[in-house]
Chains A and B, each alone.
Chain A
Amino acid sequence: MNILISAYQTILYQPLFNALVFLYQYLPGRDFGMAVIVLTALIRILFYPLMIKSIKSQKVLSELQPKIQEIQQKYKNDKEKQAKATMELYQKEKINPFGGCLPLLIQLPILIALYQVFWRGLQPEQLSQLYSFVPNPGAIHPLFLGIMNLAQPSLILAVLAGISQFFQTKMVTPKTPKVKKDQGQMAQFSGMMQKQMLYFFPIFTVLILLRLPAAIGLYWIVTTLFSILQQYLVFAKRTPADIMQKHA
């Protein structure tokens, strides 16, 4: 267990912490908030190649849209059958729009380390973890845009994070036709659950962020915006007219 923790420290935490201090030192304006934004964006861009394959299959996917809609209509009361039939169609057409669970799981420890860097990185004793080639700033002034103290919780950033979380969750929640009374309890329950989640997550996000340093809130906003962009690129619904325009 100890080996795991020290490996996590050396491989994940320390490099990210050093990158943050490095950015803080060298970005114009010496703004800690900008360093947080740039580091978050860099990490998300690093993960981007994992998504490229799925973005490429998007073209085929948009051509299959009518067939997919047909399946959705046919099994609109049975999510299980719908998922299975859709997967059968992908298999037949030899495409797969999803990146896979493994790439996702590999990303998680990195994102957790990043999160910790923004949380703990502001403590002065952390500066002993700097590499020899990263100049010691002496102290980090945790300001964003010169006014917002990122070491304290911030209501504005928490609410903004909640709003972006809402849109992200809304994007991944499938549009379900109104559940009718005769559709069985299970379908009704899962439909209700999904609806509640849509509102529950953002509120939960705001409540948690109100207790954490605002640096985490800023990180949350940037990373959620990136997810929205990626989801848009992969799953953007394109009507046949759009495709015609694209290829014209």
Chain B
Amino acid sequence: MEAMTSIYPSHQPPAELEQILRVEELVKKFGDFAAVDGVCFAVRPGEIFGFLGPNGAGKTTTINMLTGLAHITSGSVEVAGLPYPAGIKRAQAIIGIVPDESNLYEDLDGFDNLSFCAALYGLRKHEREARAAELLQLFGLTEAGKKPFKAYSKGMKRKLTIAAAIIHRPMILFLDEPTTGIDVASARQIRQLLVELNRRGTTIFLTTHYIEEAERLCHRIAFIVRGRIERIGTLAELMGQVQQENIVQFTLAEDVRPMLAALVAEFPGTEAEHLGGGALRIHSPQRVNLSPFMKFFERHGATVYEARVIQPSLEDVFVQVTGVAIQPMKSEEEGSKR
């Protein structure tokens, strides 16, 4: 990512701007059905803001309203102080969009696609060609730059679509499921790129199905369910809301079942959950002190391989808020197969 310094000069939003995106009571109705129903949130300059929710929750509809692809039924939106709908065309000049589908021109090659996208933002020929060449290099697509977009792999298409979205150096970048359906290496590269873009000043608005991706990248996260924001906050704030009990997991060399009755008797107020074989979870309303448990297992002649505190994850928050099980990240799926 070193090359990014030259082609993507650090640009900070105006210092006086406290919120680069402000959304108040945003509503989108289709007939009587409210796909987005009174959504309120604000994004600060320089943030990576995650927008998570199950399918059909209203994520894409919200992005479409924020980027100008959908009309607002009611409510207000301001991007960098530009109110919608009057300021939408001016706002579009400072936002970049990576849609859920890579939608560049199939018959144009990579270079021409980037150059064309730059022209849509009014960049002159020499400037757009220089930026296109540099972005192709940055994304490792210099060779592929001469091939038509339709000949690209899914990962390459995604990378080129992101390159097209940043060629005009937007202040805020909207990404709708940027790593869905692509290989692990490309997904990792894209995540690194987003972090680097953000480090250089770009505000990022991200929707993703991959909860761990949001956990890794986002400074703040909003959960949208059935068109309404259910939770919003930093990772710590969100996780703090679900941490109602303390959990410690022990892994023993021996089968733990013969010890269970004695364990429960010795530690009243805790709950023991046998996970199979030598694996056991202790649930307690208070903080769990490991030492008495270690002594207990020692007395019963058991060997403890591992003892670890289980922290609630963003996934737990998501499931609690939405009631929907989530899709594991691609990297985890791949990793578990190896």
A joins B in a complex: no
